[in-house]
Amino acid sequence: MKWLGILGLVALSECLVTIPLTRVKSMRQNLREKNKLKDYLESHPYNVAYRSNDSDLDTGVQSVPMRNFLDVIYFGNISIGMPPQDFKVVFDTGSTDLWVPSIYCYSPACASHNVFDPHQSSTCRISKQAIHLEYGSGDMTGFLAYDTVRIGGLTVLGQAFGLSLQESGTFMKYAVFDGILGLAYPSLGIRRTIPVFDNLWIQNLIPQELFAFYLSRKEKEGSVVMFGGVNHSYYSGDLNWVPVTRPLYWEISMDNISMNGEVIACDGGCQAIIDTGTSLLIGPSHAVLDIQKIIGANRTRNGEYQISCNASNTLPDIVFTINGIDYPVPASAYIQQDVQGTCFSSFDKTRGSMFFPDLWILGDVFLRLYFTVFDRANDRIGLAPAV
Using one digit for the tens of pLDDT, what is the confidence trace for 84-120? 999 999 999 999 999 999 999 999 889 999 999 999 9
Residue after which a domain boundary falls, among 231, 254, 269: 231
Q: How confident is the model at residue 233 (pLDDT cuts 50, 70, 90)?
A: very high
Q: Can you give the pLDDT at residue 254? A: 98
18, pLDDT greater than 60: no
pLDDT of residue 174: 85
Length of the chain: 387
Same domain membership, residue 193 and residue 291? no
Whether residues 226 and 258 share a domain: the answer is no
What is the C-alpha to C-alpha distance for residues 76 and 349, in angstroms, rounded to an integer?
A: 28
pLDDT level of residue 358 (50, 70, 90 thresholds): confident
CB 96 within 8 A of CB 82: no
- Reported as type and span, the H/E element at residue 365 is helix 364-367
**14 — pLDDT class (breaks 50, 70, 90):** very low
Give the integer Cα–Cα distance in Å for 198 and 133.
Answer: 21
pLDDT at 252: 98
Domain boundary among 166, 200, 231: 231
Structural domains in the chain (count): 2
Same domain, 89 and 136: yes
* pLDDT for the residue 350: 83
Contact 294, 264 (CB under 8 A): yes
| Residues 252 and 151 both lie in one domain | no
Choose the most confident range, by mean pLDDT, from 19-33, 73-87, 163-177: 73-87
Query: Do residue 185 and residue 255 come from a single domain?
Result: no
Cα distances from 288 to residues 155, 223, 338, in angstroms, run 43, 29, 21
168: pLDDT confidence band, cut at 50, 70 and 90?
A: confident
Same domain, 275 and 366: yes
Q: How far apart are CA 299 and CA 282, in angstroms?
A: 16
Q: Taking 80 as the threshold, does the pLDDT of residue 162 lie above it?
A: yes
pLDDT of 337 above 70 = yes
Task: Confirm if 136 and 351 have CB atoms less than 8 A apart.
Answer: yes
Furthest CA-CA distance within the chain: 62
What is the end-to-end Cα distance of the chain in Å, rounded?
Answer: 31
- Asked whether residue 291 falls in the same domain as residue 206, the answer is no
Same domain, residue pair 32 and 107 = yes
Sign of the dihedral through C-alpha 218, 225, 74, 279: negative
Q: What pLDDT sits at residue 150?
A: 97
Average pLDDT, the chain: 85
Contact 186, 195 (CB under 8 A): yes
Q: Is the pLDDT of residue 4 over 90?
A: no
Please identify every residue annotated as catalytic: 92, 275
Asked if 372 and 322 sit in the same domain, the reply is: yes
Residue 71 clears pLDDT 50, i.e. is over it? yes
C-alpha torsion sign, points 134, 173, 87, 364:
negative
Residue 122 confidence (pLDDT): 97
Give me the pLDDT at residue 362, please. Answer: 97
Phi-psi region of 340 (alpha: psi -120 to 50; beta: other; left: phi over 0): alpha
Residues 289 and 336 in one domain: yes
Share of the chain above pLDDT 70, in %: 82
Q: Which of 211, 231, 251 is the last residue of a domain?
A: 231
Say whether both 273 and 176 belong to one domain: no
Q: What is the pTM of this model?
A: 0.85
pLDDT tens readout for residues 183-209? 999 999 998 999 999 999 999 999 999
pLDDT category, 140, cuts 50, 70, 90? confident
Q: Which domain holds residue 104?
A: 3-231
* Per-residue pLDDT tens over the stretch 276-326: 999 999 999 999 999 999 999 999 988 899 999 999 999 999 999 999 999
Convert 209-220 to b/e letters by CB count within 10 Å (16 or more is b).
Answer: bbbbbbbbeeee
Instruction: Give the per-residue pLDDT at 355.
Output: 56
For residue 58, give the CATH number of its domain: 2.40.70.10
**Residue 228 CA to its chain's centroid (Å):** 17
Is a pLDDT exceeding 70 seen at residue 135? no
Eight-class DSSP state of 174: G
Question: Is pLDDT larger for residue 135 or for residue 68?
Answer: 68
Same domain (yes/no): 227, 242: no
Model pLDDT, residue 158? 97
Please tell me the predicted confidence (pLDDT) of residue 60. 73
Task: Dump pLDDT digits (tens) for 28-49.
Answer: 334 444 454 444 334 433 333 3
